[in-house]
Amino acid sequence: MGRFVILLVGLLVSLAAVSSPAAARSDERDDAFLVVRGRAVCLDGSGRPIDSFLACTEASSRFGFASKEGKLYRFAPTDAMTAVFTDTRVRQRELQITARLRGADQLEIIKVQSIKQGKLYDISYFCEVCTITAYVPGLCPCCRNEMEFRETAP
């Protein structure tokens, strides 16, 4: 009787793991990691790049990424890391994006780096007072001072 119960519990645990939504999602994923170089661009309401660099406003813009090869990628609408592109200093730089590619042309950011003289630099924002590092611009969550833009060699 004891072996039967152990066997039954083991079988139920195995079935639960196989049939769980998380297990199904991991098997169905078709996303891949991608490293691409280019520039961040602002997109209009129809998803096309905006010609004017200054027409991009923090409040109204969606962002995309134009690769050096000429391919335009869009970012997942839920990707909070795209807030880094609200900083004009970041949009002015040549960048390397490490991201998940979802579908044919949608990226989900993992890491954003700038390229200067062929070398990669990590982009971050730092509060000297609170020693807090963030990856998007804004106010320090602790002291509410503006975070300092930094580019550091990895």
Residue 15 lies in a domain: no
pLDDT at 52: 60
Please tell me which residue, 135 or 19, carries the higher pLDDT value: 135
- Rounded CA gap, 102 and 36, in Å? 14
| Residue 124: inside a domain | yes
Tell whether the model's pLDDT for residue 14 goes beyond 50: no
Range of the domain at 36: 32-152
30: amino acid identity, one letter: D
CA distance 44 to 34: 24
In a domain, 22, yes or no: no
Strands 95-102 and 106-116: antiparallel
Domain-located, residue 2: no
Residues 101, 34 contacting (CB under 8 angstroms): yes
97 strand-pairing partners: 36, 112
The answer to whether residue 134 is domain-embedded is yes
Side-chain-side CA neighbours of 68 within 13 Å: the count stands at 10
Percentage of the chain exceeding pLDDT 70: 73
- Identify whether the C-beta of residue 154 lies closer than 8 Å to the C-beta of residue 120: yes
Q: Does 11 map to a domain?
A: no
Residue 103 lies in a domain: yes
Per-residue model confidence (pLDDT) at position 48: 83
Domain count, the chain: 1
Report the pLDDT value the prediction gives residue 103, as an integer from 0 to 100: 85
Give per-residue pLDDT as tens, 116-149: 999 999 999 999 999 999 999 999 999 999 999 9
How is 24-72 classified by DSSP, letter by letter?
Answer: HHHHH---EEEEEEEEEEEE-TTSPBPS-GGG--TTT-EEEEEETTS-E
* pLDDT at site 15: 40
